[in-house]
């Protein structure tokens, strides 16, 4: 028996998990919408993840988010794999429905929703689209771009074999350019996305020449620590529209919250500022 009054619980699993900002995001929404629910961090070791997910409900959860290094395991563990998870081969959002474990990947939604918010006209001029990276996040973004109507996505990745896997997966709409052709790829670009981890907790920057892109180019970096990466700063200095990684993080949390708690939450400016402050605080303390 599951009385309506039983508090719904969701969590984020990872190893390590202390860094996750998901409890802050979902905790804010639970409070804001007056929902008697809970969202916690659960440290799950790699050896234990399949067992944990097989017994998610017995652990008292209606679903969970999944972070590094469990996204592929979560995909494998799911009984029902939704399209976005299939496209990436990894899952970040799970829920139990009719006794079955469902899996999706909400990074696609998170990226596309925030791109639309920050640069609503990005597609009007049918831009040359360049994705730097070929990891899980790059795949989620490429899936969103193709589904959103892009006829061609140029993909560059340091390890070219991985970019070739992306092309094999998504097909002819992917145009591969070699790492050494980075700057040629930038010529006339209208949307450039850094989907690598370059710039995370450092001042490193993808080595591309932003003077070559279109003046109306939109530049996105999905890294959000720091909030303004060196790549975004270079784009900003060049006068381009920029789309940061924090907004993607906030928007990717929306579908999971709705599945677990039955309310579609809004990403407000206040929430953005609260999480941005937390990122700044952690950056300051790590540089102390």
Ligand X SMILES: NC(=O)c1ccc[n+]([C@@H]2O[C@H](COP(=O)([O-])OP(=O)(O)OC[C@H]3O[C@@H](n4cnc5c(N)ncnc54)[C@H](OP(=O)(O)O)[C@@H]3O)[C@@H](O)[C@H]2O)c1
Nearer to ligand X, 62 or 198 (CB): 198
Query: Closest distance between ligand X and the C-beta of residue 197, in Å?
Result: 3
Name the catalytic one among 71, 76, 100, 118.
Answer: 71
Strand duo 63-66 + 80-81: pairing: unpaired
Structure tokens, 23: 């409890």
Q: What torsion, rounded to 10 degrees, do the Cα atoms 138, 140, 146, 152 define?
A: 10
* Distance, first Cα to last Cα, the chain: 52
Nearer to ligand X, 101 or 182 (CB): 182
Phi-psi region of 99 (alpha: psi -120 to 50; beta: other; left: phi over 0): left
Burial (CB count within 10 angstroms: exposed 0-12, middle 13-18, buried 19+), residue 100: exposed
Q: Does residue 222 belong to the site contacting ligand X (CB under 6 A)?
A: yes
Q: Of the candidates 9, 118, 158, 169, which one interacts with ligand X according to CB under 6 A?
A: 158
Specify whether 31 is catalytic.
no
Q: Does residue 155 belong to the site contacting ligand X (CB under 6 A)?
A: no
How far apart are the C-alpha atoms of 155 and 41, rounded to whole Å?
A: 34
Q: Of the candidates 119, 137, 219, 234, which one interacts with ligand X according to CB under 6 A?
A: 137
Query: Closest distance between ligand X and the C-beta of residue 36, in Å?
Result: 28
Query: Closest distance between ligand X and the C-beta of residue 90, in Å?
Result: 8
Q: Which residues bind ligand X (CB under 6 A)?
A: 107, 110, 133-138, 157-159, 162, 196-198, 200, 222-224, 245, 248-249, 252
Residues acting as catalytic residues: 71
């Amino acid at each position: 028996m599951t009385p309506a009054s039983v508090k719904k619980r969701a969590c984020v699993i990872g190893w390590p998990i202390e860094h996750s900002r998901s409890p802050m995001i979902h905790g804010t929404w639970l409070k804001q919408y007056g929902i008697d629910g809970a969202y916690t961090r659960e440290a799950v070791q790699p050896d234990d993840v399949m067992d944990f997910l097989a017994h998610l409900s017995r652990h008292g959860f209606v679903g969970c988010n999944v972070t590094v290094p469990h996204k592929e395991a979560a995909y494998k563990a799911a009984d029902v794999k939704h399209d976005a998870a299939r496209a990436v081969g990894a899952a970040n959002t799970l829920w139990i429905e009719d006794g079955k474990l469902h899996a999706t990947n909400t990074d696609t939604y998170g990226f596309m929703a925030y791109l639309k918010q920050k640069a609503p006209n990005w597609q009007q001029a049918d831009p040359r689209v360049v994705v730097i990276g070929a990891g899980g996040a790059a795949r989620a973004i490429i899936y969103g771009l193709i589904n959103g109507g892009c006829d061609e996505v140029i993909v560059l990745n340091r390890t070219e074999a991985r970019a070739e896997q992306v092309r094999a997966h998504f097909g002819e709409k992917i145009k591969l350019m070699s790492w050494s052709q980075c700057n040629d790829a930038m010529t006339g670009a209208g949307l450039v996305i850094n989907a690598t981890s370059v710039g995370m907790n450092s001042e490193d920057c993808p080595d591309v020449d932003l003077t070559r892109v279109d003046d109306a180019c939109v530049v996105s970096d999905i890294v959000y620590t720091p909030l303004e990466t060196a790549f975004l700063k270079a784009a900003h200095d060049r006068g381009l529209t920029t789309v940061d990684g924090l907004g993607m993080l906030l928007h990717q949390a929306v579908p999971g919250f709705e599945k677990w708690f039955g309310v579609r939450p809004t990403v407000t400016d206040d929430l953005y500022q609260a999480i941005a402050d937390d990122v700044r605080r952690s950056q300051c303390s790590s540089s102390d």
